[in-house]
Structure 1
Amino acid sequence: LALNTYPDSARLKDWHAAVDKAAALGADAIIAAEMAVLDYAARTHPRLPRHLSVQGSATTAPALRYAYERFGISRAVLPRVLSLQQVERLCEKSPVALEVFAFGSLCIMVEGRCQLSSYVTGASPNRHGVCSPAKFVRWEEQQDGSRSVRLNDVLIDEFKPEEPAGYPTVCKGRFEVGSEIFHALEEPTSLNTMELLPRLKQIGVAALKIEGRQRGVAYVGPVTRTWRRAIDQVMADEARWQLRPEWQAELSRHAEGHQTTLGPYHRAWH
C-alpha cells in the first residue's frame, strides 16, 4: 500500500489511520517516505513490512542504514539519479533489499515534488498523487485535427493531426523561447533499462519498479507482460538471455515521445 505522501502536522492522524487499516487488512507491505509515518508504523505495527519510498531520497549507504536501524525497513526504492556503478556499490553495502526504476517517465525535479506543476496548478503533486492532476487538464481539438492542451488554462503544447501526444506535464511541454518554440526543459522520453537486466541481476538488485501512475490498462497490461517475459527468461538462463527486438518495440510504443533512454544508468562519471 502506497502511503508515500507527506502529511502536515494537523492531519498526521489520517496517515496513522491508513497505516492501521493496512495492518488490519493484511497488506503485504507499506511504502512510505515521511519519517513520522515510518516511525508510527514501526512502533505500532512492527510485523507490517515497511519499504522506503523513492521520495525518501536515500542515495547513500548511511542513509539506508539509518532507515533500517531506526524504522526497520526491509526494502528501499532508489532515486532515478544514480549511475549503474553507484547502484552496484549500494547493493554491496545496503542492509536492505534495493529496488530500482526500470521503465517509465523520468523527472527533472526532486522525486514526487514537482515545483512546476505546483506553480501552474496550485496543487501539490505529492498530495494529489501526480504532476498535472487530471482535473486541471483541458484538451482542445481543431477542425484540421490538430490539438492543444492546457494545464489550468496555461498552454502546455500543440500537436499536429497525426502527431502522438503523451500526458501533459510542464517539464515536457513546448514553449516559445526567444523566437523558437521547442522542448525548453526536457524532451519527452521514457527510461528503459531492459538491456541491463542481466547486469542488474548480477549486482544484486532485488526488484524492478515500473512507473505507472495515472496509466490505463492499455499501458499497464502490455508493459508488465513484456517485462514479466524478459525477467522470467533471465532468471531461468542468464547466460543465454538475449534482448528481443519485439520486447523493445512493445516498450517503445508505450514510451513518452516513443523514445527511450538509459537515463543516469549509463552515465560515465559518478
Structure 2
Amino acid sequence: MELVCPAGTPAALRAAVEAGAHTVYCGFADETNARNFPGLNFSREEMAAGIDFAHDRGAKVLVAINTFPRAGAQDLWHRAVADAAAAGADAVILADIGLLAHAAERHPGLRLHLSVQAAAANPDAINLYAQAFGVRRVVLPRVLTVEEIAAINRETEVETEVFVFGGLCVMAEGRCSLSSYATGLSPNMNGVCSPASHVAYAETAKGQEARLGGFLIHRTARGAPVPYPTLCKGCFTSGDQTGHIFEDPVSLDATRLIPALRKAGVSALKIEGRQRSRAYVTQVVRAFRAAVEAAERGDPMPEGLLTRLTEGQAATTGAYAKTWR
C-alpha cells in the first residue's frame, strides 16, 4: 500500500521523503489550501523545487487545493490547479464540484483525487465523481468501519485512501455544523474545526476551563492536563451520562489495522499532520514505512512506537471500531 505523508513546509517534505514516504501531500500558501496557517505551506517556487526533490528520489507529490472557492474569486483556485500541473504534481486533491469540472476540462492529463473534505462515503457518491470528472482516488472520511470500506471497494474501481494516524475527526469531514456554529468559521473554507484564534483557557474556582468560541468544552482539575477544545471530543451531558459522548481527546492510530485495511482493498494509507514539525514527520513516516513493509511480509504489526506523539499520549482506532455508534 502507498504511504501518503504530510508536509507543511519544504523542510518537512524533504524529511518525509528521506524517511521513506512513497508520496507527500502539501499545499500552496494561500486560501486554496485547507491548512492555510501562518508560517506553513509552499510558494510556487518552493512547490516546484519540492516536486523535483521528491521525483529525483522516487517519491510522488500531491497538491491539496481542497477548500471551496469563494463566489467571484474562483480564478485564484483555477491558477492553483494550473500551477500545480505546471510544477509536475502527480495529482491534485480537490473537493469542490465546480473546481473538479474545471480541472477535468482544462487539464485532462492531470490526475484528480477527491479530498476528504468532499465527505464521499458510499459507492454511489464515489462512482459519480469518477464518471463525471474522472476522479481516480477518494480519501475516505473517518466515519467508516473496515467492513464498510471493504464493501465500498467491492462496488467501485476508484482507489481508496484512508487515514491511519494523527488528528481524528468523527463528523462528516469538513462539514461540522457544531464547529461552524461555535466559531462562525466553516471548516471547508477555513481549514480547521477549532481555530486557535477562538480558543481560550482560564483558571476558575471550578477548575481549569477550555472554551471554543465562548462555549465551555472541557473543565479539568487544577494541575491536570487540559485537552485542546475540539467539539466532537468535548464533554457533554446526554441523558444521565456526562463525559466524552463521541470520542475522547486522543489521536488516531490504526497501525494494528493495516493488514485488515490491506485485505479490504485500500490503496493508500494517509498520515495527518501538515501543521507538524519535520521531526514529528520523520518519526511517524519511519514507523509507518516499517509497518507497511511488515504487512507486506505478513509479519505482526509493531505497536506503541508513536504513543508519545499522540494527543494526550493516548490513541484510538476511532470510527474503524465504531465504539460510539
TM category, shorter: 0.7 to 0.9
**CA–CA separation in structure 2 for the residues paired with 1:69 and 1:178:** 45
Q: Is the 8 A contact 2:294 2:301 kept in 1?
A: no
Pair 1:138-2:138 in alignment? no
**CA–CA separation in structure 2 for the residues paired with 1:266 and 1:179:** 24
- The correspondence of residues 57-76 of structure 1 with structure 2, limited to 5 A, is 57-76=119-138
1:154-201: CA deviation from partner (whole Å, max 9, x where unpaired): 443344465334432123233678999743554223332211212222
| Counterparts in 2 of 1:163 and 1:59: CA distance versus 1, 3 Å | same
- The correspondence of residues 66-145 of structure 1 with structure 2, limited to 5 A, is 66-140=128-202
Match of 1:242 in 2: 300
**CA–CA separation in structure 2 for the residues paired with 1:253 and 1:88:** 31
**CA–CA separation in structure 2 for the residues paired with 1:201 and 1:256:** 26
1:118-143: CA deviation from partner (whole Å, max 9, x where unpaired): 2222111221111111222234579x
Choose 39-48 or 11-20, whichever is displaced more. 11-20
Q: What is the one-letter code of the residue matched to 1:56?
A: A
- TM-score (norm: length of structure 1): 0.82
- TM-score (norm: length of structure 2): 0.70
Match of 2:321 in 1: 266
Q: Secondary structure at the match of 1:234?
A: helix
**CA–CA separation in structure 2 for the residues paired with 1:222 and 1:165:** 25
1:32 pairs, out of 94, 97, 100, with 94
| Counterparts in 2 of 1:179 and 1:92: CA distance versus 1, 3 Å | closer
1:37-85: CA deviation from partner (whole Å, max 9, x where unpaired): 1110011111111101122222232322221121111211112222212
| Counterparts in 2 of 1:180 and 1:208: CA distance versus 1, 3 Å | closer
2:210 pairs, out of 140, 144, 149, with 149
**CA–CA separation in structure 2 for the residues paired with 1:116 and 1:267:** 20
1:97-122: CA deviation from partner (whole Å, max 9, x where unpaired): 11112123332322112222222221
**CA–CA separation in structure 1 for the residues paired with 2:90 and 2:213:** 38
Please state which structure has a larger fraction of its residues in helix: 1
Matched-pair identity in %: 44
**CA–CA separation in structure 2 for the residues paired with 1:251 and 1:179:** 35
Q: What is the one-letter code of the residue matched to 1:190?
A: S
Q: Which runs of 5+ in 1 are unaligned?
A: none
RMSD over aligned CA atoms reads 2.9
